[in-house]
Amino acid sequence: VDSGIVHGPAVAIHGGAGGYREGLGEPIAACLGEVLDRARLMLERGDDAVSVAVYAVSTMESFEFLNAGYGSALCSDGTVEMSASVMRGSDRAAGAVAGVRHAEHPIRAAAGLLDAREVLLIGEAADRHAVSCGVEHRPNEFFVTARQRDRLRSSAGEHGATVGAVCLDLHGALAAATSTGGVRGQPPGRVGDSPLVGAGTWADQNAAVSCTGEGEAFIRTGAAHCAARLVADRASVEIAGAKALEEVAALGASGGLIILNSTGTVAMPFTTQAMPRGTWRAGEQPEVFVDEPNQRPVQGRVGG
């Protein structure tokens, strides 16, 4: 139960809800650990929540074994299409890109819209916008790894390894960010929940949420907003997160989310086998969890 005492700053990150990642536990844990260490330094020196969430997601986009940016899951035609979104809780500014094929860091392109009139850009226009934000423009093949080529043959239709971050900064502001290559073998043009504000990502003055899982169900339940709304109505993050995932489950789908409230309390529930995740908050040590096949999935509140 949340004591109401503010424990900020705080951060939580995820590397996607899905199946066990045999043999990848260690490198994924190392990546998440590094991201948390750096996020902690940034938050302690007073960086704002958006900068830290974008930093965390951008770093995970560069990591081969997570499904965002370089190493993204492949569409049915063997190419990569990426999407990302970010939301600033203090004023509900939001930025998002979908169907991006060249921007090395989709989340940085999304962040470049936070102070623009538009919230969401798609396709070529989003890639051009990314260049105008100083994001490196890469050929689509840059993002395609041998591992994802193999996986397209063996396990099309699987979701997993989308990345996300939620932050509470020293000044009490919240932010959420999410980035993905989508579902393996998705038809080109398919867009999931990750770039959709209210579905895959949400931040307001009470809560920040980043979702992962079968995107269509997160869209159809407005999952991220649903969880945040419950927190606004005084639910704990544990209950809010669990209820949002119950709605997703009622549509026959699975996934997970990370949710952080304005006092720095985190919940990281999931209904899949695994969801690599980590959290840090002021006065505590960073904690990283990578579920292994011989372990029961951890549900509900972790750490803290």
Residue 103 β-bridge partners? 137
189: burial class by Cβ within 10 Å (0-12, 13-18, 19+)? exposed
Contact call for residue 193 and ligand ASP (CB under 6 A):
yes
Say how many residues touch ligand ASP, by CB under 6 A: 14
Among 59, 72, 179, 194, binds ligand ASP (CB under 6 A): 194
| 3-state class (DSSP) for residue 77 | coil
Determine whether 59 is an active site residue.
Answer: no
Residue type, 43: L
DSSP state, residue 18: B
Contact call for residue 71 and ligand ASP (CB under 6 A):
no
Contact call for residue 213 and ligand ASP (CB under 6 A):
yes
Closer to ligand ASP by CB, 200 or 264: give it.
Answer: 200
**CA atoms of 82 and 72, how far apart (whole Å):** 8
What separation, in Å, do the N-terminal and C-terminal C-alpha atoms of the chain show? 11
Of the ranges 96-104, 179-187, 271-279, 288-296, which one interacts with ligand ASP (CB under 6 A)?
Answer: 179-187
Q: Which of 59, 79, 145, 162 is catalytic?
A: 162
- Least distance CB 159 / ligand ASP (angstroms): 4
In contact, 261 and 231? CB cutoff 8 Å: yes
In contact, 106 and 99? CB cutoff 8 Å: no
* Number of alpha carbons in the 13 Å side-chain half-sphere of residue 238: 9
Residue with the shortest CB distance to ligand ASP: 215
Contact call for residue 183 and ligand ASP (CB under 6 A):
yes
Closer to ligand ASP by CB, 40 or 105: give it.
Answer: 105
Contact call for residue 162 and ligand ASP (CB under 6 A):
yes
Which residues are part of the catalytic machinery? 162
The binding site for ligand ASP (CB under 6 A) comprises: 16, 67, 159-160, 162, 180, 182-183, 192-194, 212-213, 215
